[in-house]
Amino acid sequence: MQASILEKEVLLKEIHHRVKNNLQIISSLLNLQSIRIKDDTKAFEVFKESQNRVKTMAMIHEKLYQSGNFAQIDFSQYIHNLISSIFSSYGVNTGDIKLKITGQDVFLDINTAIPCGLIINELVTNTIKHAFSPGNSGKLHVSFDKTDDKYVLTVQDNGNGLPDDFDIEKTDTLGLELVKSLVYQLEGKLGVINGDGAIFRISFREQ
């Protein structure tokens, strides 16, 4: 019995390791391809965004592989690592955007962690690209909390805010369409507040 359990753990570790490596290969291929199209700004941005999405998923498999806990990931630590990676990708430093991350120590299974990670990637990327006027600094606050059986993810900035006629249900941008799809996957709710900057709040129940 013990040998069977150990064998399954070794197999799971190998699976996560291989998935992580395969995703990293895809990310590297996207990076190599993007270098060839740097003169086409729009296409370059598309490749960069795709690369970051792949990295977001690869980091989860890497965390599971490194921790030895194949059921859950330390999502609080993952958020710090993920946003650091996104900032690095876009050449953002703490002088440009002052980052604040708060929340409880929360552990998520892979089926919840991946959509949550992708949502954070999209919303943080959106903040970097659109929230602040060129040359202006700003603040970004990301929080992830759990109360009873409910999780709440909030991504908030103090930037220019959203257009007056913004409607999350009618948006046609790929990033926000992906966010809506992922929230639906989590059977959650997405709220948007437009005031002193933009606030995106996602709530969902533990699966």
Residue 67's pLDDT is: 66
**Percent of the chain that is helix, strand, coil (3-state, to 5):** 55, 25, 25
- Contact assessment for residue 100 and residue 155, using Cβ atoms and an 8 Å cutoff: no
Three-class SS string for 82-150? HHHHHHHHCCCCCCCEEEEEEECCCEEEHHHHHHHHHHHHHHHHHHHHHCCCCCCCEEEEEEEEEECCE
Structure letter (DSSP) for residue 154: E
DSSP per residue, 50-76:
HHHHHHHHHHHHHHHHHHS-SSEEEHH
Q: Give CA separation, 204 vs 60, 99, 115, in Å.
A: 20, 24, 12
- State how far the Cα of 4 lies from the Cα of 73, in Å rounded to an integer: 23
What rounded mean pLDDT belongs to the chain? Answer: 82
| pTM of the full structure | 0.82
Share of the chain above pLDDT 90, in %: 42
Given a cut of 50, the residues of the chain with pLDDT beneath it are 4-7, 10-11
